[in-house]
């Protein structure tokens, strides 16, 4: 049975799910996404990835600054979708809208709930060196990411996985799981399972302050942080009043003074072992391999980085 869908999503992570729905038997009635933003001193308006795809697919697009108004409530109630599919939309759906009768609100969430509820499950999973993660399809309730789930799929985290590559993999999984979910719903075979509240953990939003590198941790922990924050917002250190972002690094079984540059190719001492920086970026400049970066920027052996 074909279902009527209202889609809500914003970043690149949501695009494969929207594309998968567009190619299915189900009908997308409308798409909600975050409003376009002005960048480059207001000279250019940037639409979200979901906005761009929705225009190509000729869907009606709505970009309200918030959903807490009668206009959006009335629109959704009148639209009367069977299911609202939410993928990293970026706004909390008001309880009033969630309570509209005969609409099922589903979220495609990038973790194995109840672990890593919240805004940054992909980054936190990498930063905490989890062995596995996955995607959950859950029913949206008032409490954040606490609703019962219908389907989950696990994957093992690869060595040196960063947030960009993991998000791509999980978004593809989500695009397949949502079609399985809708099939179960349309056939009447959907059985939701309650989350174990005692096992819940929270993936709080990435704070800018935590992106600054602390060399007084093990190389393994530091690489997990670099990978979790790569490519955005990025883990960085300050050198001669310049902010330098480490995009990629590897652990080396060499010990030295914490924060000390141990060779001429940016081997940096940590609390345990060292990191070899492989790709690096000066603020406002391109990402470069370390050798190329050092041709135009000097960081000397023996310096101690803060």
Domain boundary among the residues 171, 199, 227 is at: 199
Tokens of 101: 């009768």
- Report the domain count for the chain: 2
- 306 located within any domain: no
pLDDT at residue number 39: 75
Same domain, 122 and 155: yes
pLDDT at residue number 233: 95
pLDDT at residue number 45: 86
pLDDT at residue number 288: 98
Tokens of 184: 């179960």
CA–CA separation, 9 and 179 (whole Å): 16
Domain CATH for 172: 3.40.50.170
Same domain, 188 and 264: no
pTM of the model: 0.95
Q: Which residues contact 186 (CB under 8 A, 6 or more apart)?
A: 1, 2, 3
* SS3 of residue 117 by DSSP: strand
Split the chain (306 residues) into runs of 10 and give each run's mean pLDDT: 97 98 98 89 84 98 96 98 98 97 98 98 98 98 98 96 97 98 97 98 95 97 98 96 97 97 98 98 96 97 94
Alpha helices in 188-228 (DSSP H): 219-228
Q: What number of helices (H) and strands (E) belong to the chain?
A: 8, 14
Domain boundary among the residues 159, 176, 199 is at: 199
pLDDT at residue number 257: 97
Domain CATH for 284: 3.10.25.10
Q: Are 287 and 247 in contact (CB under 8 A)?
A: yes
Tell me how far CA of residue 205 lies from CA of 78, 117, 119, 302, in angstroms.
34, 11, 5, 36
Same domain, 193 and 232: no
What are the E-state strand segments in the chain?
Answer: 4-9, 27-32, 37-39, 44-46, 61-62, 83-87, 104-109, 132-139, 149-156, 235-239, 242-252, 267-269, 274-282, 288-289
pLDDT at residue number 154: 98
The domain in which residue 15 lies consists of 4-199
CA–CA separation, 6 and 54 (whole Å): 12
Angle between helices 49-56 and 15-22 (to 10 degrees): 20
Q: Are 52 and 29 in contact (CB under 8 A)?
A: no
- 303 located within any domain: no
pLDDT at residue number 136: 98
Same domain, 154 and 17: yes
- 302 located within any domain: no
Domain boundary among the residues 165, 199, 233 is at: 199
pLDDT at residue number 195: 98
pLDDT at residue number 40: 63
């Amino acid at each position: 049975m074909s279902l009527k869908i209202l889609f809500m999503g914003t970043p690149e992570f949501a695009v494969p799910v929207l594309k998968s729905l567009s190619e299915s038997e189900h009908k997308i009635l409308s798409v909600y996404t975050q409003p376009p933003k002005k960048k480059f001193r207001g000279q250019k308006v940037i639409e979200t990835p979901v906005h761009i795809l929705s225009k190509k697919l000729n869907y009606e697009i709505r970009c309200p600054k918030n959903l807490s108004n009668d206009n959006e409530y009335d629109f959704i109630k009148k639209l009367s979708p069977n299911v609202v599919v939410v993928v990293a939309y970026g706004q909390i759906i008001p309880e009033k809208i969630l309570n509209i009768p005969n609409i099922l609100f589903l979220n495609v969430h990038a973790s194995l709930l109840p672990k890593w509820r919240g805004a940054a499950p992909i980054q936190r999973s990498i930063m905490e060196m989890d062995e596995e993660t996955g995607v959950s399809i859950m029913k949206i309730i008032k409490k954040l990411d606490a609703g019962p789930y219908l389907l989950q799929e696990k994957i093992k985290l690869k060595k040196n996985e960063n947030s960009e590559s993991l998000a791509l993999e999980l978004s593809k999984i989500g695009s397949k799981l949502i079609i399985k979910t809708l099939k179960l719903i349309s056939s009447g075979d959907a059985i939701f399972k309650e989350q174990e509240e005692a096992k819940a953990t929270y993936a709080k939003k990435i704070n800018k302050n935590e992106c600054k590198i602390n060399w007084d941790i093990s190389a393994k922990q530091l690489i997990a942080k670099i990978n979790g924050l790569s490519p955005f917002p990025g883990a960085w250190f300050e050198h001669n009043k310049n902010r330098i972002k480490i995009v990629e690094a590897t652990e080396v079984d060499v010990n030295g003074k914490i924060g000390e540059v141990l060779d001429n190719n940016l081997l940096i001492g940590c609390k345990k072992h060292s990191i070899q920086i492989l790709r690096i970026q000066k603020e406002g400049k391109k990402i470069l391999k370390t050798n190329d970066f050092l041709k135009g920027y000097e960081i000397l052996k023996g310096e101690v980085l803060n």
